[in-house]
Each structure stands twice: as structure tokens, then as C-alpha cells.
């Protein structure tokens, strides 16, 4: 099993390019199911989750090929299997995103119910309830969601809570429904808007994506398109936090400041200088960062996907911070591992109180999920001596070439097995 070995204590410095967004790429790949024509996707990050999604689509009968620009072409003219099997869904919950498109285009889908997860229970009741509202008959059979509909019917759906993939699944399903659908209390995340832009490029009629009320006028068919995935705001945020935590200076090429508002605000609060232009963001750490409290909430508030990384920074910051996690009930697994490096963190329920310490000391730690892994890597970059981060397959799900990118910024980091 691969591990990362990090010699800490070096401020990050230099420039690095941001990859395409994992959480935009995954639903966009699923959008290919909605058309018999070719969808070309550019700026796909090379990640394990993307490979898993391509494997799932391939198993269903989608023809997947690489084009000359390293983009991926997807041709779903013939889909033989309208199934997402347990083996794949258990390794990647985002597989649930094939549900809406399959029912919309083929009138049927069987998708394994995702089980619990390292960060929380993560039910999918809103996906199911929304599809039922659009007229699908849904049954749970032997661990699978079995959904059927002759043709979905557009209508107004009020989501009980804000869910990102739930909004995406229903938005995709509604593109081919009979009549108009309005999704109220929709997720505002930029990845939802990116998916909507791709769908509109395929002939869908979606307005309001990026707001809490999305209107989708159903059409009879969608056509092929060429789409470039937006940059990854969580990868961007992770590098910015790493730079601030190490007192470094980095410039991110291809990053979008407009979707990093809450993260940039927190980083400025630590005392770091942040500047940006249309397609870059730079950060200069000014000495030891100041502690910053944060409360995670749906976009545009501080993202749960950046909480673990901010905790690593706070563990060596000047002062005390309070971090409140409101999205997932079990997303503090990294706290125990950070404590092994010498951090002073008290967790009670969904609140972590972090008392900044003078220094962290390298040790062997274990990653438990994707963003927890990123937090441990940042801690390793700060810590004195050697840190060994085990189980980094989590990291490979969501960070493209992380050790190459960090090396480019001067970090002493290597992969070992
Ligand atoms: N929820 C329900 N019922 C549902 C759906 C969600 O109760 O039917 C709850 C969840 O249990 C959670 C909250 O609603 O407490 C929000 O979950 P959401 O559905 O928004 O999460 P998701 O769509 O499964 C996406 C990202 C996650 C990110 C969350 C929150 C993708 C593929 N995944 O998950 O990304 O943390 O939104 O922003 O887009 C990551 O990249 O590391 C990651 C976990």
C-alpha cells in the first residue's frame, strides 16, 4: 500500500497549476448517459474516482475513448446495463449520479444503495424522493434502488435539505422530463452550475443553477457537446492553506477566486496576504498564522471539504480556534491523527477546539478519508522531521499528482510502498 514520506519544515514556494474539479467532473461524466451522441469532456483530472466512474460507465455500455487533447469522449448510443453494481458503488458513492440520467433516458435504473461512509451516514432519501416526485416508481430490492418511469413528468420539488449530488441527480433527470421542473432549496455549489452549463451545451433548458431555485424545462432529446470542466476549488483551497500553514508563498495558475470566497476570507483572517486575477490566486504567508474559527455549511459558506485542512493550520496557529462541522456527523477523524503529531485538539460532538501549539513533530499517521488525508499531508509539511502518511489511496481519489505538485513547490515529499 502506498505511503507518503514527508520531511517537514519547508515553506512552500512557487507556482502550480490547478486541476479540473473532481466534484464537477463526476456528474458531468454521468450526463453522457442522457444523449445518444458524443459528449467530449476536457480538463478531466486524472484521479481514481474519475477512473472508477469511467469503469462504471464502460460496464454499462458507454464507449469511452481518449481524444488527442487527453480529453475523454463518451458515447452512450447503446447502454446494455442500466445497473450500478454494489462493487463499484461501495468504492465511490458518487456512482449514485447515474440514477437520474438512466431513468430519464431509459425509463429504468438499478443502483446499489450506498452504505455508510467514513464521514457520516450519508443517506440518499432526497434523490429517491425527488425521483418519485417526478413520477418514478422506486423500490428498494436486495440492497438496490430500482427506479422505473415511462417518462418522467416535470413538477415543483422542494428539497428537505441542501444536497449537492441530490440536486445534480434531479437536475439531470428533469432535463428529459415532460414539462417544467423547479427544484427549490437546491444546492448553490459551483459544481452544480458547472453541470448545468454542460447540460445546456447539450441542449437542456436550465436556468437558475447556482441559486437555490433551479428551473428545468424538459426537452425530448439532448445532443452531443464539448465541455471543459471548471477548476477544482477544494484542491486550490488545500494548496492555499498548505502555503499559509508553512509560511510560504505560492501562486495557483488556473484557479478561480470567485468560487473561493469563504476560504480566502479565512486565510486573510490568519494574516496571510491573498491576491488574485481572472485565472490565478496567490498567497503569501506572513509568519506564524493566527488561529481562525470556522463553521462548515453549504456554499457559499465555508466548505466541509476544507475543514480538515484548516484544522491542520490551526494546530500550529497563534491562539485558539473553534471548528464546527454541520454537514457530516463524523468528519473529525483527522483530529486523533493530528494529535499524534502533537496537536492540541478537543473534540466534543461536532465541535473541535484547537489550541495552537509551538510545533508539530513528525510521526506515522493514517488517512481515513480524502480530505482527512490532505489535512495530514499539510500537518506533515509543517511538522519537524519525518511524517509518514499511510493509506494514501484516499488521497489519490481526489488530488491529481499531489506529491509532484508539492515537490514543484519545494516540499520534500515522496511516495513509498
Ligand atoms: N443528505 C441526506 N439525504 C440525502 C442526501 C444528503 O440526508 O438524500 C445529507 C448528508 O448525509 C449530509 C448532507 O445532506 O449530511 C449534505 O450531503 P450532500 O448530499 O450535499 O453530499 P454529497 O452530494 O454526497 C458532495 C460532495 C462531497 C461534499 C458534499 C458537501 C460530490 C461527488 N461529493 O457530496 O465531497 O463533501 O457534497 O459539500 O460532489 C469530497 O470531495 O471529499 C466530498 C466528500
Angle between helices 22-31 and 164-175 (to 10 degrees): 20
The reply to whether ligand 1 has any atom less than 6 angstroms from the CB of 163 is: yes
The answer on pLDDT for 116 being more than 80 is: no
Read off the pLDDT of each residue in 378-393 and give the average, rounded to a whole number.
96
Q: Cβ–Cβ contacts within 10 Å for residue 404, how many?
A: 11
d(CA 157, CA 185): 9
Nearest CA to ligand 1 atom 18: 163
Nearest CA to ligand 1 atom 36: 305
Q: What is the pLDDT of residue 287?
A: 87
Q: What is the pLDDT of residue 70?
A: 75
The reply to whether ligand 1 has any atom less than 6 angstroms from the CB of 23 is: yes
Which of 195, 327, 331, 332 is the pocket-test mutation for ligand 1 (most atoms within 8 Å of CB)? 327
CA angle, 9 then 359 then 284, to 5°? 55
Taking the centre of ligand 1 as the mean of its atom positions, its distance from the CA of residue 124, in whole angstroms, is 9
Q: Cβ–Cβ contacts within 10 Å for residue 333, how many?
A: 18
Taking the centre of ligand 1 as the mean of its atom positions, its distance from the CA of residue 184, in whole angstroms, is 17
* Active site amino acids: 117
Nearest CA to ligand 1 atom 9: 122
The answer on pLDDT for 115 being more than 90 is: no
Taking the centre of ligand 1 as the mean of its atom positions, its distance from the CA of residue 93, in whole angstroms, is 9
Place 67 in a pLDDT band, splitting at 50, 70 and 90.
Answer: confident
Read off the pLDDT of each residue in 34-45 and give the average, rounded to a whole number.
97
The reply to whether ligand 1 has any atom less than 6 angstroms from the CB of 127 is: yes
Work out the mean pLDDT of the chain and round it to a whole number: 96
Nearest CA to ligand 1 atom 39: 23
**Is the CB of residue 102 less than 8 Å from the CB of residue 127?**
no
User: Of 277, 253, 366, 270, which is closest to residue 311 (Cα–Cα)?
Assistant: 270
Read off the pTM.
0.98
Percent of the chain with pLDDT over 90: 94
Read off the pLDDT of each residue in 267-280 and give the average, rounded to a whole number.
98
Read off the pLDDT of each residue in 326-350 and give the average, rounded to a whole number.
96
The answer on pLDDT for 383 being more than 80 is: yes
The reply to whether ligand 1 has any atom less than 6 angstroms from the CB of 40 is: no
Grid coordinates 449520479 are at which residue?
A: 97
Taking the centre of ligand 1 as the mean of its atom positions, its distance from the CA of residue 122, in whole angstroms, is 7
**Is the CB of residue 30 less than 8 Å from the CB of residue 202?**
no
Q: What is the pLDDT of residue 367?
A: 85
**Is the CB of residue 308 less than 8 Å from the CB of residue 371?**
yes
Nearest CA to ligand 1 atom 33: 23
Place 417 in a pLDDT band, splitting at 50, 70 and 90.
Answer: confident
Taking the centre of ligand 1 as the mean of its atom positions, its distance from the CA of residue 304, in whole angstroms, is 9
Q: What is the pLDDT of residue 255?
A: 98
Read off the pLDDT of each residue in 40-58 and give the average, rounded to a whole number.
96
The answer on pLDDT for 204 being more than 80 is: yes
Q: What is the pLDDT of residue 183?
A: 98
Read off the pLDDT of each residue in 117-127 and give the average, rounded to a whole number.
88
The reply to whether ligand 1 has any atom less than 6 angstroms from the CB of 368 is: no
Q: What is the pLDDT of residue 102?
A: 98
d(CA 162, CA 166): 8
Place 117 in a pLDDT band, splitting at 50, 70 and 90.
Answer: confident
Amino acid at each position: 500500500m502506498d505511503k507518503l514520506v514527508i520531511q517537514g519544515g519547508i515553506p512552500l514556494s512557487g507556482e502550480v497549476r490547478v486541476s479540473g474539479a473532481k466534484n464537477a467532473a463526476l456528474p458531468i461524466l454521468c450526463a453522457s448517459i442522457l444523449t445518444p451522441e458524443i459528449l467530449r469532456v476536457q480538463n478531466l483530472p486524472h484521479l481514481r474516482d474519475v477512473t472508477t466512474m469511467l469503469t462504471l460507465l464502460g460496464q454499462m455500455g458507454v464507449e469511452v475513448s481518449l481524444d488527442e487533447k487527453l480529453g475523454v469522449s463518451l458515447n452512450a448510443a447503446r447502454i446494455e446495463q442500466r445497473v450500478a453494481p454494489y462493487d463499484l458503488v461501495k468504492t465511490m458513492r458518487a456512482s449514485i449520479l447515474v440514477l437520474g440520467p438512466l431513468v430519464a433516458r431509459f425509463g429504468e435504473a438499478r443502483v446499489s444503495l450506498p452504505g455508510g461512509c467514513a464521514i457520516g451516514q450519508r443517506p440518499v432519501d432526497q434523490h429517491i424522493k425527488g425521483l418519485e416526485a417526478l413520477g418514478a416508481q422506486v423500490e428498494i430490492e436486495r440492497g438496490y434502488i430500482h427506479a422505473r418511469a415511462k417518462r418522467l413528468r416535470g413538477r415543483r420539488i422542494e428539497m428537505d435539505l441542501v444536497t449537492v449530488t441530490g440536486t445534480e441527480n434531479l437536475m439531470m433527470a428533469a432535463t428529459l422530463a415532460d414539462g417544467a421542473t423547479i427544484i427549490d432549496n437546491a444546492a448553490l455549489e459551483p459544481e452544480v452550475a458547472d453541470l448545468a452549463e454542460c447540460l445546456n451545451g447539450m441542449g437542456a433548458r436550465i436556468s437558475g443553477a447556482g441559486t437555490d431555485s433551479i428551473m428545468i424545462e424538459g426537452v425530448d432529446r439532448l445532443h452531443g457537446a464539448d465541455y471543459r470542466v471548471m477548476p477544482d476549488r477544494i484542491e486550490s483551497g488545500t494548496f492555499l492553506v498548505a502555503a499559509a500553514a508553512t509560511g510560504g508563498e505560492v501562486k495557483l495558475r488556473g484557479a478561480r477566486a470567485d468560487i473561493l470566497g469563504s476560504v480566502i476570507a479565512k486565510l486573510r483572517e490568519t494574516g496571510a496576504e491573498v491576491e488574485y486575477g481572472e485565472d490565478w490566486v496567490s498567497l503569501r504567508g506572513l509568519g506564524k498564522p493566527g488561529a481562525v474559527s470556522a463553521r462548515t455549511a453549504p456554499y457559499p459558506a465555508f466548505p466541509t471539504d476544507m475543514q480538515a485542512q484548516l484544522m491542520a493550520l490551526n494546530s500550529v496557529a497563534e491562539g485558539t480556534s473553534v471548528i464546527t462541522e454541520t454537514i457530516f456527523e463524523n468528519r473529525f477523524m483527522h483530529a486523533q491523527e493530528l494529535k499524534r503529531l502533537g496537536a492540541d485538539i478537543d473534540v466534543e460532538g461536532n465541535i473541535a477546539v484547537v489550541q495552537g501549539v509551538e510545533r508539530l513533530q513528525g510521526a506515522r499517521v493514517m488517512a481515513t478519508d480524502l480530505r482527512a488525508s490532505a489535512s495530514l499531508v499539510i500537518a506533515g509539511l509543517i511538522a519537524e522531521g519525518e511524517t509518514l502518511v499511510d493509506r494514501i489511496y484516499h488521497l489519490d481519489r481526489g488530488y491529481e499528482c499531489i506529491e509532484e505538485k508539492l515537490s514543484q513547490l519545494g516540499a520534500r515529499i515522496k511516495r513509498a510502498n
